Copies of this chain bind each other. A is one copy, B any other.
Amino acid sequence: MSDLSIDIKITKISESKISTVDFDNLTFGKIFTDHMFVCDYIDGTWQTPEIMPYQPLTIDPSARVFHYGQAVFEGMKAFKDENDQIWMFRPEDNFNRINKSSHRMAIPEFPKEFFFEGLTKLLHMEKDWIQKGKGNSLYIRPFVIATEAAISASPSNSYKFMIICSPAQSYYAGEVKVLFAEEFSRAADGGVGYAKAAGNYGAQFYPTSLAHAKGYQQIIWTDANTHEYLEEAGTMNIFFRVGDTLLTAPNNDRILDGITRKSVIQLAKDNGIEVEVRRVRVDEIKEAAKNGTLKEIFGAGTAAVINPIAGFEHAGDEFDLPKMEDSYASFFKQKLMDIQYNVSEDPHGWRFKV
């Protein structure tokens, strides 16, 4: 990953717009930094990557991304420590996952050296956009779209790999209650649920809007066949604390292999917390809520890090979760953020110096 290994064409903006940004009042994903990374796939080859001023794309209305959702993405964050050093968290896992997603969506994989060289250069150029202080970060969105101007239902011959960046505070605010899915589903066995395929997300908007109308911020998806097993929350993996044991669903072809999820599992093991990675029944969680052994539910994902759940509903039964001192949620959040912000040791080598 030496600076000399990859040729990146760089065009800088003449004047940064950073002075116009109110970093204390950011809406997630609305403001983007001065530059973006772009690499086109044409004639079977990824072309010379470019970093250029953030700007609109010019793209044919027949581009396959518009018609067939041939698109994948990732979510990552960059953090700044007290000495102005920039860090990322397990970015190699995001890189591997975007290629896994691409493979499932018939998109050519992206070269590792292009990714890390481009990402590093871009973050160095945008370093002023990364604010110090816990909770502050630069949200990084790599994505790939099918750009060929042709509407036959077949894979595109051209693509655009891009990285755009958006300064972020914490993703969720307020008390989060969730609905366990009874009717709608997120993914099929043999489908693309494990991939960060664009269409997986748009398909959740309508059921989620119905949940919102009932006063729930998120849906915890259940398996499409029986709706008896709890799977993931669409933008987060889900953990249940029953007694002092942590439960979470195993990965399969419906469930995203979350990087925060696997970090939580490792941290639990490191800290003597029992974790069971197994199918989790709706019934057992409701039963545990009734008999008082269900202590916590929390989501784990890049955007939210750890997101405690205050209550849930299923089949008309509503449950509130106890407010806990010393919750696992706050324990894991602290542990993860201490690593991310270079405050603690990093025994597993998750921190990546940018």
Contacts and interface: CB of A to CB of B under 8 A. Distances in A.
A155 B190 contact: no
Contacts of A180: none
A56 B60 contact: yes
Interface stretch (A195-203, A271-279, A343-351): A195-203
Contacts of A198: 65-69, 198-199, 202
A191 B186 contact: yes
Contacts of A64: 202
Interface in A171-193: 181, 183-192
A73 B62 CA distance: 11
Given A60-B57, A185-B188, A187-B188, A234 B153 contact: yes
A302 to B, nearest CB: 12
A110 to B, nearest CB: 16
A291 interface: no
A201 B32 contact: no
Given A56-B59, A191-B203, A209 B151 contact: no
A28 interface: yes
Interface in A200-235: 200-206, 208-209, 224-225, 227, 234-235
Given A29-B62, A185-B189, A206-B104, A69 B200 contact: yes
Given A57-B59, A151-B166, A188-B185, A206 B105 contact: yes
A151 B146 contact: no
Interface string A10-38: 00000000000000000111101000100
A337 interface: no
Contacts of A201: 67-70, 153
Contact of A59 (B59, B146, B208): B59
A2 interface: no
Given A61-B164, A62-B141, A106-B206, 13 more contacts: A27-B152, A56-B59, A57-B60, A66-B71, A67-B198, A68-B199, A69-B201, A70-B202, A71-B202, A105-B206, A153-B234, A181-B190, A187-B188
5 contacts: A57-B58, A66-B145, A68-B201, A151-B164, A185-B189
Q: Which are the 10 A-B pairs with shortest beta-carbon distances?
A: A199-B199, A69-B199, A185-B190, A69-B198, A188-B188, A188-B224, A69-B69, A70-B202, A106-B205, A29-B151
